[in-house]
Structure 1
Amino acid sequence: MVYAAGAGSGYRYLPGVGQYSAGVVADPAYGIVRVQFPAPVPLRAAFGAAERIIGGAGRPLTALCSWELRSPRPFTESSFTAFNAEYIALLDEWGVIGTSGANPVARSNVCPTVDPVLEPSAHAFAFTVPAQAGTVQYVVSGSAESPEGLGDYRDHMVAYQDMSADGLLAKVRFVTAALKSRMDGLGVSGHPPRVVQVYTIHDVQRLLADAVMAPLRCADSVTWHPHRPPVVDLEYEMDCRSVGAEYLAGSGGIAG
């Protein structure tokens, strides 16, 4: 079941865990704009840049609907909990966290292996804008090969520390099923994603057509990032989206 986000947000969200919702879908009179930074920006500075961009578009901060984060290296369970508390505090400063404590904002968080970041940073964010009725627009949060909300990741990882062909296939299938479930929950399963992002350092190219693109009905784009998921021993993460416009911060009509 989806819930309305904050006042003026222009979107609904599928509940997830404390650090992020499972995904967001724009209200009928709204669309979603994604803004990517030319290079990852340290997290607090990225929030400042997003505040200027969202305000410059005439939208309230509650229009923020997703973040794509980058971290220096995979966290331990305890350090991930500490990071998430800091991140949620930033959202709370914006008034995004609901009075019940629910977090409506979608998120992915991965660790680049090529040109890694030095501190937690942001790669991109998205927010809603008024739009004429048209395509259904949404962002599904990143999922790795472990169920959420069970207390820890390690004890529930699919094919734990198994990087064999069968192990990788099990991981990919689990994550694809998780994204499909989130799309069902958002009510967007009839609208295939325009972009699927795959995050792993392992060779999974041979699996993508049958285990990702076909189940998600994604015929347009799968983007591979040589990044690790955010917690030690997780090996495969994926998110997907279908948004109305994408910009590079500081170019065109989007100021950084």
Structure 2
Amino acid sequence: MTSTIETSDGGYRFMPGVSQYSCGVSALPGFAIERVRFAEPVPLSAGFERIAQILKAAGRPLTAFGACELRSPAPFTEDGFRAFNEIYIKTLIAWGVMRDGVNPVARSNVCPKLDPPAEPSFHAFCYTVPAAKDAPSSFVVAGSGESVEGKANYRDHTVALGDSSPAGILAKAIFVLGEMERRMNAFGGTWKDTTAVQLYTVHDVYPVLESELGRRGVLRNGLTWHFDRPPVVGLDFEMDCRRVHCERVV
């Protein structure tokens, strides 16, 4: 099992990823993860302010912020994505969430093809709250597309680059599903433990729904398919998943 790192003041542990986000988070004993979805996307700066207000109202420190789901106007170039991430992590550093270049917050950032926001915005976020010692476990796995993260670029490490044929989508799906399983495994989780699974693509995935997702048990509680693109030009297939028992819309 991949090693994880505890954030004692956040109430969760995380699987290290890259500087802009971790691979996932899981609540520590005595805590549970809750998810809040915004009824409409909230621009980044205003979204951080609303998140801070919600955490304060819940009696939780800013360090309880553990995961978020973003929506952006269109896929970024690789340089544009790096520039965006530099802006995003400034708040995490100011909040004391990100320390010494290590980012514990899991993240998905996707681009709706239909009715996209005018600027990068928050769709949802997760945070920890105190819970009974015997409360069911909870985790959030960050989004992953069909490319190896942490390399010099995405393009040279993307599965079936530019290929949205059934064979290309199959190859992409196999890679992403494997990455979801690797990340869940860090928290002792499998598909049967998930309460929600999200898929982000604008391509036809019907050929892989049964053969790959169904066969692995991904569809046991349904699938939320967002008609969205991954955040970087050249990526076509992204997923994330979670085990969260309390969710609300504000």
- Which consecutive aligned stretches of 4+ in structure 1 deviate over 3 angstroms post-superposition? none
For 1:49, the aligned partner's letter is: R
Cα deviation per residue 1:8-49 (whole Å; 9 max; x = unaligned)?
Answer: 211000000010000000011111110000010000101000
Gaps of 5+ in 2: none
Output the CA distance in 2 between the equivalents of 1:182 and 1:24. Answer: 9
Identity of aligned residues (%): 49
Output the CA distance in 2 between the equivalents of 1:237 and 1:217. Answer: 14
Shift of 1:218: 4.6
Q: Are the counterparts in 2 of residues 192 and 218 from structure 1 also a CA contact under 8 Å?
A: no
For 1:13, the aligned partner's letter is: F
Aligned pairs (5 A) from 1:33-182: 33-98=34-99, 100-132=100-132, 133-182=134-183
Map of 2:227 onto structure 1: 226
Output the CA distance in 1 between the equivalents of 2:190 and 2:176. Answer: 16
Cα deviation per residue 1:139-182 (whole Å; 9 max; x = unaligned)?
Answer: 00000000111110001110010111100100011000000011
Output the CA distance in 2 between the equivalents of 1:121 and 1:149. Answer: 24
Map of 2:4 onto structure 1: 2
For 1:220, the aligned partner's letter is: N
Q: Are the counterparts in 2 of residues 111 and 227 from structure 1 also a CA contact under 8 Å?
A: yes
Q: Are the counterparts in 1 of residues 197 and 218 from structure 2 also a CA contact under 8 Å?
A: no
Output the CA distance in 2 between the equivalents of 1:162 and 1:149. Answer: 22
Output the CA distance in 2 between the equivalents of 1:212 and 1:71. Answer: 26
Map of 1:253 onto structure 2: none
Output the CA distance in 1 between the equivalents of 2:205 and 2:215. Answer: 15
Aligned pairs (5 A) from 1:186-201: 186-189=187-190, 192-201=193-202
Map of 1:19 onto structure 2: 20
Report how many aligned residue pairs link the two structures.
Answer: 247
Gaps of 5+ in 1: 250-256
Cα deviation per residue 1:198-230 (whole Å; 9 max; x = unaligned)?
Answer: 000011033123312432555102100000000
**Alignment CA distance shift 1:161-1:92 (3 Å):** same
| TM-score of the superposed pair, with normalisation by structure 2 | 0.95
